[in-house]
A = this chain, B = another copy of it.
Amino acid sequence: MNVRYPNGKLYKQTEAKKSPQEKKQLYSNRGMTLEEDINETNRYYLEQQIAVIHKKPTPVQIVNVNYPKRSAAVIKEAYFKQASTTDYNGVYKGMYIDFEAKETKNKTSFPLQNFHNHQVKHMKDVISQNGVCFVLLRFTSLDEIYYLDAKNLLYFWDRQLNGGRKSIKKEEIDECGHKITLGYQPRIDYINIIDKLYF
C-alpha cells in the first residue's frame, strides 16, 4: 500500500530499506567528531546534488619519497604544515562557500585560540570577495552546534587584539549565531542557515 503525506505526496520508505544492524550503526554514531559529522553532511549534499563542498587535504611538506619497483611510492619523511586557508570550501547555487569548524569542551565560552592568524586573514580575503564565510562551533559538553558568520568572528577577534577577552561568551554566540540541531540526514544542515540568510 502506498502511504501518502497530507499534501498527497508519496511517502518513500527509504529508511525501511536499511537493515536493523545498519540503523543501529547509524544511531550509535553519537561519538562522531565534528569533522566526521561535517564530512557526512557534505557527502549527503553531494549525493543529493544540493551543494559541492569538500574538506581540503591536510597540508604536508614532503621531504623524502621512496619509489620501490612494482609498488606505490612511499613517503618516508614529511612534516605537517600550517594551513593557509580554512578547511572547507565549495559551491552552492553559484555562491562560493567557505568555512572552518572548531570544537571546545568549555560550556560558557569559545576560546579564540582555536583560530590561527592565517585562517582569520583568509576569512577577511573571502569576505572582501563577497564569498559566504562562516565558522561552525561545537560545544561538545553541551552537544550544541552554532553557525557564526565570519564577520561576527572578526568582531570578537579584533576585540581580543584590542585587549579584550580571549574568548567569545556563550551568550554572545547565542545572540549573533544560529543554532543548528543535529539531524539524521544531513547531520549538520548548515545549508539551511545559508538559505535563510541569503535567499
Q: How many copies does the complex hold?
A: 2
- Among A5-13, A86-94, A147-155, A173-181, the stretch in contact with B: A86-94
Interface extent on A, as a size class?
35 or more
Q: Is the CB of A52 within 8 A of B125?
A: yes
A184 within 8 A of B: no
Q: Is the CB of B57 within 8 A of A130?
A: no
- For A94, what are the chain B residues with a Cβ–Cβ distance below 8 Å? 95-96, 129-131
Indicate whether A1 reaches chain B with its CB closer than 8 angstroms.
no
A75 touches B79 (CB 8 A): yes
Pairwise interchain contact B54-A129, C-beta atoms closer than 8 A: no
User: Does B91 contact A131, Cβ atoms closer than 8 Å?
Assistant: yes
Contact (Cβ within 8 A) B58 A126: no
Q: How far is the CA of A54 from the CA of B125 in the complex (A)?
A: 12
Chosen A-B contacts, 19 in total, with CB atoms closer than 8 Å, are: A49-B129, A52-B122, A52-B126, A52-B129, A54-B85, A56-B56, A56-B57, A57-B59, A72-B79, A74-B78, A75-B79, A75-B80, A90-B96, A91-B98, A91-B129, A94-B95, A94-B96, A94-B131, A96-B97
